[in-house]
Structure 1
Amino acid sequence: MAIIENWLPPSRENWNLLCTVWQYFPLVTAIQWLVDWYPMGKTSTESRFNIPGKIGWATMESVGFMTLLYIMFTLPKELGIKELPWWNWAMAGCFVIHYLYRALISPLFLNPSMSPIHPIPWLGAFAFQVFNSISIAGWIAGYGPSTADDWAGNHWAMKIGLVVWALGLLGNMFHDDVLREIRRAADRKQREEAKQSGKPLDGVHKVYLIPERGLFRHVLFAHYLCEWVEWAGFWMVGGWNCHPARAFLLNEVSTMYPRALQGKRWYVKKFGKEMVGGRKAIIPGLI
């Protein structure tokens, strides 16, 4: 049963239209080059409309993998496909595993705290997830390769792509945890100080430091770099003609790159050029 007729799951015509429009998303991100206002994360601002960080992140990110799973289980039936090939499910699994970690496990169970999110970036991220998941799900649920023969001749590239994806995911998790440890250490210190003073702990105040471990020795946003590697591997699995995976990677780069440059300016303003040193924003030695 369709949730939205011809959109969830999408008809081929609507899917083609959405994929065409989605390739122009980098034009939307141009505004990030013009303004530094980005009210979430370390650049969060005070607003009565703010959404609590953990809830905001979980709700705006989880819609993607839920939409993808819904289409994976409904579209093939509408197209008369009895069974999708293993590689289709492998790509779906890569997507779902990433977002189970990013949308649920990380914010709700691993992060000690998260800054509030303004509704505007929340809506933008929610829309990103909807467009992206429909684009990718349509391709792997029937509008792309739908038989084992469609995947023939490219298995080595797909296997290498899976390895690249896994390395990117592990790198993303590792560098996320480096950032979490800064907050965990602050949490432990503030709780110990409250215990020694005999005063109740009135919340844990956020502490920002320049991370030092792993690729953070060379760049300020190593977790972004690892996510780009991850989705480059995902594109390799789908093949170079997998335009939804290509659009996903390029759209992530187009929105995360200016955000990283903005973040670098924030680090320089807060800690000074000498403390930031020669660290680049995302790619060691380049940008």
Structure 2
Amino acid sequence: MAIIEGWLPPTRENYDFMMRIWTFYPLFASTQWATSWYGMGKTSVNSRFNIPGRIAWLTMESPGFLTLLYIMNTLTKEQGITDLPWQNKVLAGLFVIHYSYRAVIYPLIAPSMSPIHVAVWGMAIAFQLVNATGIGSWLAAYGPTTASDWEAQLSPWPTLQFALGIATFYLGLAANYYHDDELREIRRREEQRLLRVAKESGSSPQAVDKHYQLPEAGLFKYMLYPHYFVEWVEWTGFYMAAGWSCLPARMFVINEVCAMLPRAVKGKQWYIQRFGAEQVGRRWAVIPGVV
């Protein structure tokens, strides 16, 4: 029990140790460059170890914001902190806003979701737990906990930097919602087409499982994975608002890029194989002008 209590919420020593380990995550994520299926962002193969998509997504994404809320509620009390500055609460709220959508709303409104392999499911849970523990602990006790702390954290322009960071976060969040919905619209259109075909033929409609098409709206005109790119923008804004010395926020951005970049690059190869280089055209994978 003492070991469990030391890790959740973590003691300062365990928090520091976890953050040191977290800095090595890019080495682990880089193994995706050698992976043929998950490296393309495909979360399942034909396997008996697949989990139904909606269930897997909900259970692998929810531990993040639930862990952060638990730590924010318990670690402050353990450290004798009676009230946190409003900046801590705003940043915690942004984290919860993102992941309550990502974990709960996203799988519920998706027309269909492919099964997710248990290995991907397990890695996603580990990412969520470590990331939320780092950010939650920093916000709850191990980062700035007074107004003067925040003045020093965001010096020399604390109000401006925080405001720009929040604005960048919301810009990325809105763009994320938009491009996610464009991907859903592809399957919604396919679902409607199958319903029309079934109605005309008098047969039962087929379920939409895996249906792929080149999106055209928004930033999809210029890149194949804009939903990845704008999520990086989103969390860069969070990092800016937290202050450039915030190690958990910095590692979140770095680790997201390291985890998602190989999927985007290999995903472009997959799109070319499926639709042809002519249809893919001059679209970049994820960063216009770079890759």
Are 1:40 and 1:117, in contact at CA under 8 Å, matched by a contact in 2?
no
Q: CA deviation at 1:34?
A: 1.5
Are 2:114 and 2:209, in contact at CA under 8 Å, matched by a contact in 1?
no
Q: CA deviation at 1:250?
A: 0.1
In the alignment, which residue of structure 2 is the partner of 1:53?
A: 53
Q: What secondary structure does 1:219 align onto?
A: coil
Are 1:39 and 1:45, in contact at CA under 8 Å, matched by a contact in 2?
no
Letter in 1 for 2:233: V
Q: How does 1:135-146 map to 2 (within 5 A)?
A: 135-146=134-145
In the alignment, which residue of structure 2 is the partner of 1:213?
A: 217
2:226 is the alignment partner of 1:222: yes
Q: CA deviation at 1:37?
A: 2.6
In the alignment, which residue of structure 1 is the partner of 2:86?
A: 86
2:264 is the alignment partner of 1:263: no
Aligned residues: 286
In the alignment, which residue of structure 1 is the partner of 2:133?
A: 134
Q: How does 1:59-70 map to 2 (within 5 A)?
A: 59-70=59-70
Which protein, 1 or 2, shows the higher relative CO under an 8 Å CA cutoff with sep ≥ 6?
2
Q: What secondary structure does 1:113 align onto?
A: coil
2:266 is the alignment partner of 1:250: no
Q: Which runs of 5+ in 1 are unaligned?
A: none
Output the CA distance in 2 between the equivalents of 1:241 and 1:75: 21
Q: Following superposition, which runs of at least 4 residues in structure 1 exceed 4 angstroms of deviation?
A: 39-43
2:182 is the alignment partner of 1:178: yes
Are 1:40 and 1:116, in contact at CA under 8 Å, matched by a contact in 2?
no
Are 1:161 and 1:234, in contact at CA under 8 Å, matched by a contact in 2?
yes
Letter in 2 for 1:148: A
Structure 1 residues 200 and 84 mapped into 2: Cα distance closer, same or farther (>3 Å)? same
Q: How does 1:100-115 map to 2 (within 5 A)?
A: 100-108=100-108, 110-115=109-114
Are 1:40 and 1:121, in contact at CA under 8 Å, matched by a contact in 2?
no
Structure 1 residues 39 and 113 mapped into 2: Cα distance closer, same or farther (>3 Å)? farther
Letter in 1 for 2:110: N
Q: Which runs of 5+ in 2 are unaligned?
A: none
Identity %: 55
Are 2:32 and 2:39, in contact at CA under 8 Å, matched by a contact in 1?
no
Output the CA distance in 2 between the equivalents of 1:39 and 1:45: 12
In the alignment, which residue of structure 1 is the partner of 2:150?
A: 151
